[in-house]
């Protein structure tokens, strides 16, 4: 008889369990006794003034039986609340622009000890190598990083991504111990059309007793039923109460989201007062660096829910236990015997202010700072570094034909990710349409940067307020080609070349000179630098953009969504202009 197999893929080893049992039985001292806390039980929603005894990574016991128990170290929590470490049910870590360790540094001191991430962005750039890098780069952190495998890479046939994730790749990755399922099934049209490859992707998670995540915004009735038949177990796209309730009734685990862009908690908060709040989890989806620093991660939802009048135990439960159950994570999400000792010490429950955090029984953070020896960032392979491989471009690559005709133009819609298609009469020089600062008409280009097809899409956009120069980004959902907006073709070219040299990032250029930049050498999406440095660079970039006349907030974020060919109305990919509603590439001018 070998004991090894049980230890290999379980969340704990036999030795760890044995230590917890010996400690609970009083045969050996605990590693730490947390005294005098108000222990939040997120299963039964009650608060008990109790001691909590730890044995290594695990909780050995809670309550009166463990008062004054023998332990190597005793910590007086002086009436603070002790709550389970929070778990974010759906996050794209890449949106933080930093590596996982740096993400952890931002959220762990706020009480977040686990995230279920969807490495959709890095998978679009570097495929399974990118997912593998993320798994490596999130090892040994004070944050559990569970992974769902992207189901829709590429997102659209009207763009060139750096890799494709097929059924075989998903199945190969599904057995990894940290992989908890198949990521959001965004191809709603493919599902409801009954596309067999899409359906097989949705079912493959079940072979491994894992889950498939849903993504089904503003869909109800017959279409929702058809979509859910594929087996998606959750949704995080609800924006109205009626939508959330319909999905709950149809069996969805309802993930309530507060991202940097999409903020849905206020609309859905009445559901947290229902008798079925056990079916609700909290997620952040996409959070940008400034919001992570200012508001936090999934702790933001707990805090806001409490402020909106939700009982703290319900709010914390949605940020811990419920999500752990959804993903079938054993020994997670509650303060109970045998559970992993992921704990947050809260000194003000109304404001949900976290004073200290324990991860797996070890002190992980205190007073807003991580206390953890972070492992070095693993070596990034060729797929991650040097991922910006531009074709042979010149200013002539950005030429637009169509002299004298009306042409399509993308119009930004203030405060929304939607765009409109408008028809305009462009200014023409030497027989080609050019940018026109007087009318806020800028050139928009999308250069394929994965070194494969080498195409360049060119169009016009209005709404940035740009008066000169160029802005460029290699963050461009979901294909992450190089997007640039500018008034001078020469500046566009300089911006592209600069991002190639940096291995990706954001840049602002004017008169051929670099005004500001943020290098993102990890897949063109993330940096190995600290989050505060990223914020500093982003501030400099925004200031440079404002200096060029830009009037919209977060112009680089807006730029990064102008290539997303699944949100109406008109977008630009490396294939050219895409009419999203018609789901096809369209010419600049009217069709013959």
How far apart CA 474 and CA 482 sit, in angstroms, is: 4
Joined tokens for residue 129: 């190598």
Stretch that binds a copy of itself, among 131-139, 194-202, 262-270, 472-480 (CB under 8 A): 194-202
14 contacts 7 by C-beta, under 8 angstroms: yes
Shortest Cβ distance from residue 496 to a copy of itself (Å)? Answer: 36
When asked if residue 68 is in the footprint of a copy of itself (CB under 8 A), the reply is no
Instruction: Decide whether 122 or 185 has the Cβ nearer to a copy of itself.
Output: 185
43 contacts 83 by C-beta, under 8 angstroms: no
Residue 434 φ/ψ, nearest 5 degrees: -130, 170
When asked if residue 210 is in the footprint of a copy of itself (CB under 8 A), the reply is yes
DSSP bridge partners of 55: 58
User: For the sheet containing 584-586, what is the strand order?
Assistant: 570-573, 576-579, 584-586
336-355: contacts with a copy of itself (CB under 8 A): 336-339
How far apart CA 85 and CA 143 sit, in angstroms, is: 10
Give which of 216, 224, 201 is closest to 149, Cα–Cα. 201
Give which of 560, 488, 479 is closest to 518, Cα–Cα. 560
Stretch that binds a copy of itself, among 218-226, 286-294, 451-459, 475-483 (CB under 8 A): 218-226
Chosen residue from 106, 230, 256, 344 binding a copy of itself by CB under 8 A: 230
Strand 369-370 relative to strand 211-214, pairing: unpaired
Instruction: Decide whether 18 or 513 has the Cβ nearer to a copy of itself.
Output: 18
Shortest Cβ distance from residue 314 to a copy of itself (Å)? Answer: 9
When asked if residue 18 is in the footprint of a copy of itself (CB under 8 A), the reply is yes
Instruction: Decide whether 210 or 304 has the Cβ nearer to a copy of itself.
Output: 210
How many whole angstroms from its chain centre is CA 210?
20
DSSP state of 451: S
433-492: contacts with a copy of itself (CB under 8 A): none
Tell me if the bond preceding 478 is cis, omega within 30° of 0.
yes
47-66: contacts with a copy of itself (CB under 8 A): 58, 60-66
Strand 353-359 relative to strand 343-348, pairing: antiparallel
Shortest Cβ distance from residue 381 to a copy of itself (Å)? Answer: 26
When asked if residue 334 is in the footprint of a copy of itself (CB under 8 A), the reply is yes
When asked if residue 6 is in the footprint of a copy of itself (CB under 8 A), the reply is yes
Stretch that binds a copy of itself, among 195-203, 364-372, 448-456, 460-468 (CB under 8 A): 195-203
246 contacts 274 by C-beta, under 8 angstroms: no
When asked if residue 46 is in the footprint of a copy of itself (CB under 8 A), the reply is yes
Chosen residue from 91, 134, 153, 224 binding a copy of itself by CB under 8 A: 224
How far apart CA 64 and CA 113 sit, in angstroms, is: 27
Instruction: Decide whether 61 or 132 has the Cβ nearer to a copy of itself.
Output: 61
Chosen residue from 29, 38, 45, 136 binding a copy of itself by CB under 8 A: 45
Instruction: Decide whether 248 or 518 has the Cβ nearer to a copy of itself.
Output: 248
When asked if residue 513 is in the footprint of a copy of itself (CB under 8 A), the reply is no
When asked if residue 585 is in the footprint of a copy of itself (CB under 8 A), the reply is no
Shortest Cβ distance from residue 161 to a copy of itself (Å)? Answer: 18
When asked if residue 7 is in the footprint of a copy of itself (CB under 8 A), the reply is yes
Neighbours of 289 (CB within 10 A): 25
Stretch that binds a copy of itself, among 15-23, 104-112, 344-352, 567-575 (CB under 8 A): 15-23
Shortest Cβ distance from residue 202 to a copy of itself (Å)? Answer: 8
Stretch that binds a copy of itself, among 3-11, 441-449, 457-465, 504-512 (CB under 8 A): 3-11
144-183: contacts with a copy of itself (CB under 8 A): 166-168, 171
> What interhelical angle do 167-174 and 196-207 show, nearest 10?
10
How far apart CA 401 and CA 178 sit, in angstroms, is: 51
Strand 432-434 relative to strand 400-402, pairing: antiparallel
243-282: contacts with a copy of itself (CB under 8 A): 245, 248-251, 274-276, 278-279
Chosen residue from 10, 47, 363, 428 binding a copy of itself by CB under 8 A: 10
Size of the site for a copy of itself (CB under 8 A): 83
Shortest Cβ distance from residue 360 to a copy of itself (Å)? Answer: 15
Instruction: Decide whether 180 or 565 has the Cβ nearer to a copy of itself.
Output: 180
- The SS3 assignment for 100 reads helix
Q: What would the 3-class secondary structure string for 151-203 be?
A: CCECCCCCCCCCCCECHHHHHHHHCCCCEEEEEEECCHHHHHCCCHHHHHHHH
Which phi-psi region, left, alpha or beta, contains residue 463 (left: φ > 0; alpha: ψ -120 to 50)?
left
DSSP state of 542: H
Shortest Cβ distance from residue 203 to a copy of itself (Å)? Answer: 4
Shortest Cβ distance from residue 332 to a copy of itself (Å)? Answer: 10
When asked if residue 382 is in the footprint of a copy of itself (CB under 8 A), the reply is no
Instruction: Decide whether 139 or 328 has the Cβ nearer to a copy of itself.
Output: 328
Strand 81-84 relative to strand 32-41, pairing: parallel
Residue whose tokens read 């949605």? 318
Instruction: Decide whether 337 or 457 has the Cβ nearer to a copy of itself.
Output: 337
Angle at 68 between CA 64 and CA 72, to 5 degrees: 130
């Amino acid at each position: 008889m070998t004991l090894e197999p049980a230890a290999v893929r379980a969340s704990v080893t036999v030795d760890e369990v044995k230590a917890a049992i010996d400690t609970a039985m009083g045969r050996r001292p605990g590693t730490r006794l947390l005294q005098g806390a108000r222990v939040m039980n997120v299963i039964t929603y009650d608060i008990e003034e109790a001691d909590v005894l730890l044995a290594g990574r695990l909780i050995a016991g809670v309550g009166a039986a463990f008062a004054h128990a023998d332990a190597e170290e005793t910590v007086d929590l002086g009436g603070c609340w002790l709550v389970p470490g929070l778990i974010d049910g759906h996050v794209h870590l890449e949106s933080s622009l930093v590596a996982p360790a740096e993400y952890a540094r931002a959220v762990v001191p706020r009480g977040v000890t686990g995230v279920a991430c969807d490495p959709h962005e890095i998978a679009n750039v570097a495929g399974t190598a990118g997912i593998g890098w993320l798994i490596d780069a999130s090892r040994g952190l004070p944050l559990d990083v569970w992974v769902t495998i992207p189901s829709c890479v590429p997102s659209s046939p009207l763009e060139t991504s750096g890799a494709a994730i097929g059924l075989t790749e998903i199945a190969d990755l599904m057995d990894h111990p940290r992989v908890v399922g198949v990521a959001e099934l965004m191809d709603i049209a493919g599902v409801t059309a009954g596309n067999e490859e899409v359906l097989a992707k949705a079912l493959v998670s079940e072979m491994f007793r894992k889950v498939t995540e849903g993504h089904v915004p503003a869909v109800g009735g017959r279409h929702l039923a058809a979509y859910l038949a594929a087996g998606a177990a959750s949704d995080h796209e609800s924006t109205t109460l009626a939508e959330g309730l319909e999905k709950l009734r149809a069996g969805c685990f309802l993930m309530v989201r507060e991202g940097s862009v999409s903020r849905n908690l206020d609309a859905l908060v009445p559901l947290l007062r229902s008798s079925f709040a056990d079916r609700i989890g909290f997620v952040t989806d996409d959070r940008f660096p400034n919001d992570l620093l200012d508001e936090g991660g999934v702790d933001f939802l707990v805090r806001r829910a409490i402020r909106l009048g939700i009982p703290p135990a319900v709010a914390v439960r949605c940020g811990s236990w419920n999500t752990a159950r959804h993903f079938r994570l054993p020994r997670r999400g509650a303060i109970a015997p045998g559970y992993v000792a992921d704990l947050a010490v809260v000194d003000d429950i109304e404001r949900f202010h976290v004073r200290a955090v324990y991860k797996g029984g070890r002190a992980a953070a205190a007073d807003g700072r991580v206390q953890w020896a972070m492992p070095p960032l693993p070596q990034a392979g060729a797929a991650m570094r040097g991922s910006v491989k531009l074709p042979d471009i010149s200013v002539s690559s950005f030429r637009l034909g169509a002299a004298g005709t009306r042409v399509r133009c993308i119009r930004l819609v203030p405060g929304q990710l939607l765009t409109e298609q408008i028809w305009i009469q462009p200014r023409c020089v030497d027989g080609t349409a050019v940018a026109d600062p007087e009318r806020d008409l800028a050139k928009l280009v999308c250069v394929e940067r994965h070194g494969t097809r080498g195409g360049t899409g060119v169009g016009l956009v209005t709404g940035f307020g740009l008066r000169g120069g160029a802005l460029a980004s290699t963050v461009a959902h979901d294909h992450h080609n190089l997007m640039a907006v500018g008034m001078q073709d020469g500046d566009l070219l300089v911006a592209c070349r600069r991002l190639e040299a940096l291995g990706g990032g954001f840049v602002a250029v004017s008169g051929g000179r670099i005004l500001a930049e943020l290098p993102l050498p990890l897949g063109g999406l993330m940096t190995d630098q600290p989050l505060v440095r990223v914020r500093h660079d982003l501030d400099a970039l925004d200031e440079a953009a404002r200096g060029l006349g830009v009037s919209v907030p977060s112009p680089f974020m807006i730029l990064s969504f102008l290539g997303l060919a699944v949100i109406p109305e008109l977008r630009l990919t490396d294939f050219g202009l895409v009419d999203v509603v018609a789901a096809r590439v369209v010419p600049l001018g009217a069709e013959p």
